[in-house]
Amino acid sequence: MSTAIAESPANVIPIARGPLDEPGFTFTATGLVIDPNVTYEQWVRYGRKLQLADKGIQWALGDWVRHGETHFKDRAEQAVIFTGKKVKTLQNYATVAEAIPKSRRRDSDKVDFSTHADVAMLPEDEQEKILSKAEQNPADFSRQDARKEAKRAKRRLKLIPDELDLLHDPEVQRFLSEYVAALKKIDDVVPDCAMFLHGMIQSHIGQAQWQKDRTLEADYEAIIESFENADSQTDSDIYRWLVRSGYFLSDPDLDDRLATMSKHSKLEQEAVKKNIKLREKGAPLLPLHRLNCDCTAENKQLQCVPPGGKQDERRGDMGPDLYTLPGQATGEAATVSRARSNYDSGERE
């Protein structure tokens, strides 16, 4: 928006009726004035009107800003400022409104504005995939699910940078080095009467150093460590454990790591199954996945056990997936784990 000065909207429209006025109801800045004689049906209908206004206000403001910028150009800024809302907030609404035209917006009763905002940066086909899921399965596909899926798509399409790339940026590395140095100086002046604070500061230093030195391998090892006292966990369980331990990994990065680890586990399981059949036929065995891959099977594998059994690719339809270490699997995954163990024993013999 331009910074040109235009006449004040207060002078252009000195008096305006309440935006939600109708017979029996007067909308004011301090509440509703309601005629005591309104019927129950009128009261219910007006409540729905308030609900729609609440759910649609972000879309309305976004469309309003876009219209003003298109039709009134330099004069629009004064009106935007006059709303009392932050210009950046209104511009964000306008950006979402521009990215998703009215014909593709979902009913706000099923898909809220925030979910539309999460997908606004994506290409149209990617937007449609996520918005359709949110619309068709509002009870099972939560806003958090939509946000995670949008972040995964952005990462896949290189629309947002990988966290490790950011951490190894020279400017970020310099910040972390200076942060550690500053913490060490604070540690040197801890009062003698509160020596326990050394532990707190050293913990912060360790967390910063973890981030400074983070690698893919370190992420995998931290995730595996979260299973020390648990046979199975959801991604949320793992995330909470990492945060409690001071190892900060973003949601999309954790999703990437879990997807990679479960993919390697699946490939390893498939190789084991094939070799069991080949062994029964007396045919030459194929190399196991871990021998043909640059990963280390032992520290990069997790088995994904979807709730209800199969269909690994379905997320959110029947609750969160469970992840287990290969030796801690249950159900079908346990059968594969035992088969792998039997195969490995035969291989050693």
Tell me: do 339 and 261 sit in the same domain.
yes
Residue 27: CB atoms within 10 Å: 17
Percent of the chain past pLDDT 70, that is, above it, reads 80
What DSSP string runs through 262-287?
HHHHHHHHHHHHHHHHHHHHTPPPPP
Number of residues assigned to the chain? 349
Tell me: do 30 and 130 sit in the same domain.
yes
Residue 212 C-alpha from the chain's centroid: 23
Tell me: do 128 and 186 sit in the same domain.
no
Tell me: do 149 and 179 sit in the same domain.
no
Residue 25 lies in a domain: yes
pLDDT at 34 > cutoff 90:
yes
Determine the pLDDT at residue 342: 41
* Mean pLDDT of the 79-97 span: 87
Tell me: do 194 and 289 sit in the same domain.
no
Residue 307 pLDDT grade (very low, low, confident, very high; cuts 50, 70, 90): low
122 Cβ partners below 8 Å, 6+ apart?
130, 150, 153, 154, 157, 159
pLDDT tens per residue, range 222-270: 998 998 888 888 888 999 999 998 899 888 788 888 888 888 777 777 7
Tell me: do 179 and 141 sit in the same domain.
no
Domain boundary among 125, 156, 187: 156
Determine the pLDDT at residue 290: 58
Residue 235 lies in a domain: no
Determine the pLDDT at residue 206: 92
* Mean pLDDT of the 34-56 span: 91
From 5-14, 69-78, 100-109, 264-273, the region with the lowest mean pLDDT: 5-14
Domain boundary among 156, 172, 191: 156
Residue 297 lies in a domain: yes
Name which residue leads in pLDDT, 304 or 201.
201
Tell me: do 266 and 319 sit in the same domain.
yes
Q: Are 302 and 323 in contact (CB under 8 A)?
A: yes
Residue 342 lies in a domain: yes
Tell me: do 80 and 194 sit in the same domain.
no
Tell me: do 134 and 147 sit in the same domain.
yes
The whole domain housing 197 covers 161-214
Domain total of the chain: 3
pTM, two decimal places: 0.58
Determine the pLDDT at residue 345: 40
Tell me: do 193 and 318 sit in the same domain.
no
Specify which of 175-184, 193-202, 212-221 reaches the highest per-range mean pLDDT. Answer: 175-184
Tell me: do 204 and 321 sit in the same domain.
no
Q: Are 166 and 172 in contact (CB under 8 A)?
A: yes
Residue 282 lies in a domain: yes
Determine the pLDDT at residue 302: 84
Tell me: do 134 and 16 sit in the same domain.
yes
Whole-Å CA distances, 54 to 20, 51, 107, 322 = 11, 5, 13, 37
Residue 227 lies in a domain: no
Residue 16 pLDDT grade (very low, low, confident, very high; cuts 50, 70, 90): low
Phi, psi of 27 (to 5 degrees): -90, 125
Residue 224 lies in a domain: no
Residue 237 lies in a domain: no
pLDDT tens per residue, range 268-282: 777 778 878 878 888
